[in-house]
Amino acid sequence: MEQKYRRTKTTVSLIHYHFVFCPRYRRNVLVNKVEERFRQLVEEICQENDGVILAMEVMPDHCHLFLNGLPSDSPSDMMAKVKGVTSRR
């Protein structure tokens, strides 16, 4: 894995987050076309919010997301955006 520093006007950072989350009641819903659509949505959300997906592994009942973020974004806000938008769409 490449270690690239992210630069903004005032900061230089290298922040990686490892998120593990599951659907409600940990049901096996992330399969077939649902998994494909889920991956597309997560990629779109991360592009909109300046997050870089380093790795993503989707299992039928949970997901591992390894993400590079900016210091201005809190981890809880990142996950709120990902989980909220994917559940609505």
Q: What is the DSSP letter of 1?
A: -
Residue type at 73 in one-letter notation: D
Please report which helix (H) or strand (E) contains residue 39, including its range: helix 32-48
Q: How many helices (H) and strands (E) does the chain have?
A: 2, 5
Axis crossing angle, helix 32-48 with helix 75-88, rounded to the nearest 10: 130
Q: What is the pLDDT of residue 1?
A: 57
Global pTM value: 0.86
Domain residue spans in the chain? 25-66
Q: Do 53 and 46 contact (CB within 8 A), yes or no?
A: yes
Q: What's the average pLDDT block by block, 10 residues per block, for the chain (89 residues)?
A: 82 94 90 94 94 94 94 92 89
Q: What is the DSSP letter of 26?
A: G
